[in-house]
């Protein structure tokens, strides 16, 4: 059994659902509150890409503020996942990569990712930037000097 198959089986057991892998490398699931999550297995590198589709950001101040908050989150050294914006569809997504060589508890990493995704989806759906700001941990930002 591959790392991907084991992980999908573990997620399914945790969520108490039967998950099916498509084309041996893809699995999609719809979590509560309409949160769509996609898992993709990259065999060559033996890792799993996870993407949560958080919702459309309509043009205007709300989008600007949400993107600022996403950039702030991306700058945190111990942030879970990385935010990306798809301008073609105005979608904000959160992505994460699970590497078999480094993941001791992949289900725990996914659970934290899903919780963060659900919070952001709720904030986008309700137009509540404050929800993100209130729940953003004030953690250490990545310093450019850390790479010397």
Least confident of 6-15, 40-49, 105-114, 128-137: 128-137
Cα→Cα distances 37→51, 64, 77, Å: 6, 24, 24
Is pLDDT above 50 for 57? yes
> The whole model's pTM is what?
0.83
Residue with the bigger pLDDT between 108 and 103: it is 108
Q: How far apart are CA 130 and CA 143, in angstroms?
A: 26
pLDDT band with cut points at 50, 70 and 90 for residue 136: low
| pLDDT tens-digit map of 83-102 | 999 999 999 999 999 888 77
User: How much is the pLDDT for 2?
Assistant: 84
Give every CB contact of residue 21 below 8 A, 6+ residues apart in sequence. 4, 5, 8, 27
User: How much is the pLDDT for 103?
Assistant: 65
Q: For all residues of the chain together, what is the average pLDDT?
A: 85
Give CATH for domain 3-138: 3.30.1460.10
pLDDT band with cut points at 50, 70 and 90 for residue 129: confident
Is pLDDT above 70 for 133? no
Taking residues 58-68, report their average pLDDT: 92
Beta strand spans in 1-144 (E): 26-31, 35-42, 47-56, 82-86, 91-99
Q: How far apart are CA 96 and CA 91, in angstroms?
A: 16
Is pLDDT above 60 for 52? yes
């Amino acid at each position: 059994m591959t790392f991907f198959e084991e992980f999908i089986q573990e997620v399914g057991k945790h969520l108490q659902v039967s998950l099916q892998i498509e084309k041996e490398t893809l699995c999609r699931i719809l979590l509560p509150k309409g949160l769509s999550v996609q898992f993709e297995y990259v065999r060559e590198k033996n890792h799993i890409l996870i993407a949560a589709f958080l919702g459309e950001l309509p043009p205007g101040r709300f989008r600007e503020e949400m993107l600022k908050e996403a950039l702030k989150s991306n700058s945190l050294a111990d942030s879970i996942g990385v935010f990306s914006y798809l301008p073609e569809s105005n979608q904000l997504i959160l992505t994460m990569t699970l590497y078999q060589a480094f993941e001791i508890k992949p289900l725990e990493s996914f659970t934290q990712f899903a919780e963060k995704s659900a919070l952001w989806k709720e904030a986008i759906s309700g137009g509540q930037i404050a929800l993100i700001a209130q729940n953003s941990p004030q953690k250490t930002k990545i310093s450019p000097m850390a790479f010397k």
